[in-house]
């Protein structure tokens, strides 16, 4: 998955990015999942301890093919992270990097991401969103069973012209 974080004034404006085009000022990551990994950051900053991370993000939109999701970060997380002092950011990243999610990530990559996300969270009057885009290999795995339906199968006739619905993307843990 590719995660692109950006600021927008509202859900409707942010939803315009679901087409997959360039997003100006986006901060990208292949590791920082908006639900689970940002949930860890929220807890580190003083958020609820019993939360599984799902409070830190809310689904706003999904592309018709299921390849892209648009997720809004919680106001609580954005406010907490935006209040972190630049001098404290290094310590926050150091503790956040202890998560097993970052075992293979370079520390400077996480720091660059955190610095970019921090700038987005400090922006007044805007919300922070994440566009999650599935990699081609992830889409192929999800759509593979649909591709194996033989042309002679009853569901593949002209009587049922609806394409087979793709399965939802697997949830990352």
125-145: per-residue pLDDT in tens? 789 999 999 987 666 665 555
Work out the mean pLDDT of the chain and round it to a whole number: 79
Cα 132 from chain centroid (whole Å) = 4
How many residues in total does the chain contain?
Answer: 173
Record the pTM. Answer: 0.75
Q: What is the pLDDT of residue 123?
A: 74
Q: Is the pLDDT of residue 84 over 90?
A: yes
- Cα dist from 6 to 79, 138, 156, whole Å: 15, 23, 41
Residue listed under structure tokens 């100006």: 24
Note the helical H segments in 16-68: 36-44
| Run of H or E including 136 | helix 136-147
Question: Residue 71's beta-bridge partner residues?
Answer: 59, 130
- Cα dist from 137 to 87, 101, 142, 170, whole Å: 40, 20, 9, 12
Dihedral over Cα of 105, 54, 70, 78: its sign: negative
| 16-20, 29-33, 39-43, 162-166: the lowest-pLDDT one | 162-166
Selection from 10, 28, 47, 7 nearest residue 113 by Cα: 28
C-alpha span between 123 and 79 (Å, rounded): 10
The pairing of strands 68-73 and 57-62 is: antiparallel
Of the pLDDT bands very low, low, confident and very high (cuts 50, 70, 90), residue 68 is very high
Cα 158 from chain centroid (whole Å) = 38
């Amino acid at each position: 998955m590719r995660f692109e974080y950006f600021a927008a004034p509202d859900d409707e404006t942010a939803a315009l990015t679901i087409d997959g085009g360039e997003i100006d000022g986006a901060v990208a990551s292949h590791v920082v999942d908006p639900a689970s990994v940002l949930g860890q950051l929220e807890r580190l900053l003083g958020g609820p301890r019993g939360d599984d991370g799902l409070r830190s993000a809310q689904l706003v939109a999904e592309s018709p093919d299921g390849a892209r999701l648009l997720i809004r970060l919680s106001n609580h997380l954005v406010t907490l992270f935006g209040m972190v002092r630049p001098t404290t950011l290094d310590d926050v990243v150091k503790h956040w990097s202890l998560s097993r999610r970052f075992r293979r990530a370079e520390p400077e990559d996480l720091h660059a991401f955190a610095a970019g996300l921090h700038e987005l969270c400090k922006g007044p009057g805007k919300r922070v969103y994440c566009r999650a885009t599935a990699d081609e290999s992830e889409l192929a795995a999800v759509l593979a069973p649909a591709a194996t339906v033989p042309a002679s199968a009853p569901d593949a006739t002209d009587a049922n012209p609806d394409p087979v619905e793709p399965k939802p993307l697997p949830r990352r843990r």
